[in-house]
Amino acid sequence: MAKNSSKVAIMNLILLLSLLLMVSMAESRQLGIGFGKEETSNPNINCDSVYGAEEGDTCGSVIEKFNLSSDFFLSINPNINCDSFFVGQWLCTQGTVN
């Protein structure tokens, strides 16, 4: 019976430590002091003109169509997935990044 009781106590201790670790990680993220890479602030993007993607569009074709540099296009469309446009997706073609 004592062996069984010590196994239960060890399992309870492990569960308690796991719970404390999870709470600690969640709270540190909320306070901005968590582990991992430091988040960078998102630049302020002002989009002056947009284009609705059409079937077959790619980053390259839109860049060429509007005579943009790839760096500029990607800076004014920071969350773009060049491998997967959808028809009607709004793409910024003119703007500024602050």
The 10s digit of each residue's pLDDT in 76-88 is: 999 899 988 889 9
* Together in a domain, 8 and 32: yes
* Together in a domain, 58 and 25: no
Contact 66, 25 (CB under 8 A): no
* Together in a domain, 49 and 91: yes
Quote the pLDDT of residue 91. 95
* Mean model confidence pLDDT for the chain: 85
Contact 46, 98 (CB under 8 A): yes
Domain range for 21 is 1-39
Provide the number of structural domains found in the chain. Answer: 2
* Together in a domain, 50 and 93: yes
* Together in a domain, 53 and 92: yes
Whole-prediction pTM: 0.56
Token duo for residue 26: 């969640």
